[in-house]
Structure 1
Amino acid sequence: MISLFNQSKNLPQKTAIIDHTGTFTYQHLNERSNDFAAYLLDGKSDLNDARVAFMVNPGMDYVTVQWGIWKAGGIAVPLSISYPLPSLIYVLEDTGADIVVVGPEFEELLQSYVLEKEKRWIVITANSEFENQGQLPDVSGDRGAMILYTSGTTSLPKGVLTTHDTIESQISTLIQAWEWTEEDRTVCVLPLHHVHGIINVVSCALWSGATVYFNYPFDPDGIFQLFVEEKINVFMAVPTIYFKLIQTFDGYSEDQKQEVSNSFKKVRLMISGSAALPVSVMEKWQSISGHYLLERYGMTEIGMAISNPYRGERRAGFIGQPLPKVEVRLVDESNRAVENGQPGEIQIKGPSVFKEYWGKPEATAKSFTLDGWFKTGDIAVVEEGYFRILGRDSVDIIKSGGYKISALEIEEVLRKHPEIKDCAVVGILNEEWGELVAGALVVNSILSFSDLNQWIRTQMPAYKTPKKYLIVDELPRNAMGKVVKNEVKGLFSN
């Protein structure tokens, strides 16, 4: 049996999940996911790594579907609930998913496409009943488990395939490092088509026998109320969420502020990740909560690899030290190890590293060295045993609000607009978002930014769309005709 499911049998009456529809025990989760797995099988003995895409709001139904896919021997493909149809179709076609599961909120968006392509269509609600029709397969750890999509240096996202063994390693590493127990209570405020929400929060909690609250849609007042009522003692978020919580806190009365601040004394762990945490946000949050946020470093391809210690010194601006079972090295452009104190690319090896990019053997091969190290593309330096990120080796990756975004993908969409002749997309520093997605445009005629925003949001997810635009006569280029992105960034500071 997949290790993630152990607590569903060991602690049957313990509360596993609390969402807007109710409170659910581990026994309920186990039985409901078993029933859904049998329903997926539909008389088959094993899905045999069939890809099952699902678009379900965070909560009990989401976990039921994900666990059910795994128990039936399928590969889970979580779809972002904020994606427009073109982005969803790309994932469905790239994975070749033949089964699509949706919550009722997403029926209208996807149904026509799915039925036209003759895929199996399942709508799940809190009241859905699935008859358990027989024995579930024995799924080995080396089989494919999940495909998550990540932006790379190419214009289109790549599917990151992990196995059950990979996921088990990613989870167990964090259980050990961050000392999860069945007494923990956490809240998920993170997207569940990313490793941060799926692995770090939900899976770590359920592996440990802890309780997960789901706060959806994100509600800062609701989060603070959970703290005040002492319902959570572990909290994980991205810098953008901490920024929004600080803004909400600043609007409270003095009595409210005192009540919230006092409640943080019962919290054992607060973590920030997925983007660099501005020191100003770190300091402000510490003044509010008394907690020095734990920063860590990870990627879709590797799970978490480096972390500040749970017990020990945490350093602002540093991502910490390698986690258990994770090998880390820094190398130069010739793939040679750098001397202490010198910058180099972070490379990772260990059981937490993904298997392959789905359907892209060349991209997979390019991402690994000949001796099996995964090339992250992030540049760091080690100072007194702690890693500090310096940046990426590509200016075409933007980290905004906890997401890693491909500038090339956005440029490709912008160029489809009839009034845009050329464009360059960059990330510019921003305290709230880490980096703000910004687009420099060469246009044919007068262009309304409001109309452009409405148009682009029909083409791609909102978090990828530029938040700032600039009209220019021409883009800065080098002698080879390539756009010089650092000069484009400078245009936004003029």
Structure 2
Amino acid sequence: MNTAKPWLKNYPAGVPAQLILPTQTSLVDLLDESFARYPKRKAIESMGHSFSYEELNVLSEQFASYLQSLDLPMGSRVAIMFPNVTQYLIAMLGALRAGLVVVNVNPLYTSRELEHQLNDSQALVLVLSENFAHIYQQIAEKTSVKRVIVSSLGDLLGPKGLLVNFAARYIKKIIPQWAFPHTRFTDALQLGKQHLFQKPTIDPNAIAFLQYTGGTTGVSKGATLLHRNVLANVLQTDAWLEPVLRDQHDQQLVFLCALPMTHIFALTACALLGLRKGGLLLLVANPRDITGLIKLLAKHPEVNIFPGVNTLFHALVHRPEFSKLKLSNLLVTIGGGMAMQKKTADHWQAITGNPIAQGYGLSETSPVVCVNTPLIEKFTGHIGLPLPNTDVVILGEDGKRMPMGEAGEICIQGPQVMAGYWNQPEETRKAFTVDGYFKSGDIGFMDSEGYVTIVDRIKDMIVVGGFKVFPNEVEEVLASMPGIHECAVVGVEHRKLGEIVKAYIVKDKHDLTNADVLQFCKEQMTSYKRPRKIVFVSELPKSNVGKILRREVRKLGDSSS
């Protein structure tokens, strides 16, 4: 037994310490295997309409052919901005199959955030839902994008799609007016039919995704995820779940995809793992519609795998109608994205009979690093064990390993770790130890059995409903508002969301109000980043060199000046 990896002795039977990972295989090769193996199986169900693996294969190949007809250089970036609808999967798979790089865009982004990501990634193509076209219109002349492809929500849904689009435009009125040169998504597919698809040779070391994450500077950075990084994490996660899934090999697994697939957790644990397993992906376009989600679960009691975040589980267990559901086929509930609360986890298990296996990961690690075994009998409170082929060490401020049980920075080495930050060599250098471990910025400890527990975060990161918020970015936006002299942002506990953003502001305009600040933030930032609480103060605590001390800011309380 390797004493340096105490977690190995606690691996479930059948889970290897080391996987033999393919060296000449890309993520596309893995997906092609599923298309060939399961052509008649249903791959997707979205808004009551289903698509087989064969249909998904054809449609994504058509989209790949269309992209190839644009004569884009290999490795060009394609930004994709959708909720969980079929069009996202077609565009994402099509871009990968064309040998291009996917840039996932959070559908909640404001125009400012979208502009930064498009320009930083140097995206040449943007594929987006019509719901967000008005956001892009505000910055259309300021980006690197050369071609925009727009889809309506009802596209591909047949006759029902006409009703969906009519309701979105004229009844729910969720499609603001927009106008700019574009290609319709359905037209792109038709044009793709007319162009012969040329399957490219994709090197495993080619970039698959630029997955944007926040940074200590407040500037969003693109984690460069290679085909081999994401492929490895899909296979690692597959192997980890094998003990509970091995008896299901002759049956199709059903994955609930409620988390946005543009987020790395759902991308890997729902979309890619689901397709790898020949599973059925139940797409939830609006997970905040808890009533609609419960109705979907009532229609699909066969759901086997349910990845989620604490806020989603919390919302479900507090609905009386959820407790009436019979989810007897639920095999694995995975909690990630933010810390699970024991009360919510216990409530979930009491209703479903299935414990929540909490895991841990980052955009920079494709994402899964540690996770509880799906064989646990109850919620553990820790984040489990490192996956196969993964090494986790706890380092002190001096870079030396901490004794078992003592807290330090969680550092990770493994095939799922990113190549670096896109076009940011200095940030990349700072993110790794000299011997190649990725420095997560999270504080935790490992016990003698190899189980890891997170206790704090180095980077002052705030997690709102599973979304990461970096104070420097929010402070930069606030500081740009006339009337604000100085500001500091911290996270405070919130029963439902885990944390919310709280801003302390020194104003230089006496009539500046709470409402003024909230309105400004609404115009500049997506909802989860906006301060929910604002406190006006006469001054902010600072160090002797003038640096605002957030640890002291937290002590100020709610007293306004």
Deviation at 1:22, TM superposition (A): 1.4
> Secondary structure at 2:456's aligned position in 1?
strand
Deviation at 1:337, TM superposition (A): 1.2
Q: Deviations over 1:329-373 (max 9, x none)?
A: 111111111111111211111110011100101100111111111
> Secondary structure at 1:270's aligned position in 2?
strand
Q: Does 2:144 align with 1:87?
A: no
Output the CA distance in 1 between the equivalents of 2:234 and 2:512.
48
| 1:278 alignment counterpart | 341
Alignment gaps of 5+ in structure 2: 1-27, 157-185
Q: Deviations over 1:92-115 (max 9, x none)?
A: 110111111222223333246446
Deviation at 1:306, TM superposition (A): 0.6
Output the CA distance in 1 between the equivalents of 2:141 and 2:486.
37
Q: Deviations over 1:434-489 (max 9, x none)?
A: 22111111112233323322221221211111111111111122333222212222
CA distance 1:166–1:480, change in 2 (3 Å): same
Q: Does 2:395 align with 1:331?
A: yes
Q: Does 2:445 align with 1:381?
A: yes
> Secondary structure at 1:2's aligned position in 2?
helix
> Secondary structure at 2:75's aligned position in 1?
coil
Output the CA distance in 1 between the equivalents of 2:442 and 2:506.
31
Further displaced range: 193-202 or 363-372: 193-202
Output the CA distance in 1 between the equivalents of 2:256 and 2:408.
36
**Counterpart amino acid of residue 471 in structure 1:** F
| 2:311 alignment counterpart | 240
Correspondence for 1:490 among 555, 558, 561: 555
Output the CA distance in 1 between the equivalents of 2:548 and 2:388.
41
CA distance 1:289–1:313, change in 2 (3 Å): closer
| 1:198 alignment counterpart | 267
Q: How is 1:12-27 mapped onto 2 (pairs within 5 angstroms)?
A: 12-20=39-47, 22-27=49-54
Correspondence for 2:220 among 140, 147, 157: 157
Further displaced range: 344-353 or 135-144: 135-144
Output the CA distance in 2 between the equivalents of 1:216 and 1:312.
30
CA distance 1:314–1:308, change in 2 (3 Å): farther
| 1:322 alignment counterpart | 386
> Secondary structure at 2:327's aligned position in 1?
helix
Output the CA distance in 2 between the equivalents of 1:11 and 1:174.
21
Q: Does 2:406 align with 1:342?
A: yes
8 Å contact kept, 1:5–1:207: no
| 2:528 alignment counterpart | 463
Output the CA distance in 2 between the equivalents of 1:32 and 1:371.
44
| 2:21 alignment counterpart | none
**Counterpart amino acid of residue 278 in structure 1:** Q
8 Å contact kept, 1:327–1:350: yes
CA distance 1:477–1:108, change in 2 (3 Å): closer
8 Å contact kept, 1:2–1:141: no
**Counterpart amino acid of residue 298 in structure 2:** V
Q: How is 1:93-492 mapped onto 2 (pairs within 5 angstroms)?
A: 93-111=119-137, 113-114=139-140, 119-125=146-152, 126-127=155-156, 128=186, 129-130=189-190, 131-132=192-193, 133-134=195-196, 135-179=198-242, 183-218=252-287, 219-229=289-299, 230-247=301-318, 249=319, 252=320, 256=321, 259-260=324-325, 263-302=326-365, 303-312=367-376, 315-385=379-449, 386-395=451-460, 397-443=461-507, 444-492=509-557
| 1:67 alignment counterpart | 93
> Secondary structure at 1:264's aligned position in 2?
coil
Deviation at 1:21, TM superposition (A): 6.2
> Secondary structure at 1:142's aligned position in 2?
coil
Output the CA distance in 2 between the equivalents of 1:112 and 1:40.
25
CA distance 1:281–1:340, change in 2 (3 Å): same
Output the CA distance in 1 between the equivalents of 2:137 and 2:404.
56
Alignment gaps of 5+ in structure 1: none
CA distance 1:438–1:116, change in 2 (3 Å): closer
Q: What count of residue pairs does the alignment treat as equivalent? A: 484
8 Å contact kept, 2:483–2:512: yes
Q: Deviations over 1:207-240 (max 9, x none)?
A: 1110111112122223223333314121111111
Q: Deviations over 1:277-305 (max 9, x none)?
A: 12222222223323221100100001110
Output the CA distance in 1 between the equivalents of 2:545 and 2:95.
49
> Secondary structure at 1:301's aligned position in 2?
helix
Output the CA distance in 1 between the equivalents of 2:310 and 2:303.
19
| 2:172 alignment counterpart | none
> Secondary structure at 1:109's aligned position in 2?
helix
Q: Deviations over 1:69-100 (max 9, x none)?
A: 00111100121111111110100110111111
Q: Deviations over 1:221-266 (max 9, x none)?
A: 232233333141211111111122133x1xx3xxx46522xx1332
Further displaced range: 12-21 or 299-308: 12-21
Output the CA distance in 1 between the equivalents of 2:513 and 2:558.
22
**Counterpart amino acid of residue 217 in structure 2:** T
Output the CA distance in 2 between the equivalents of 1:341 and 1:71.
45
8 Å contact kept, 1:14–1:26: yes
> Secondary structure at 2:260's aligned position in 1?
coil
Output the CA distance in 2 between the equivalents of 1:383 and 1:467.
37
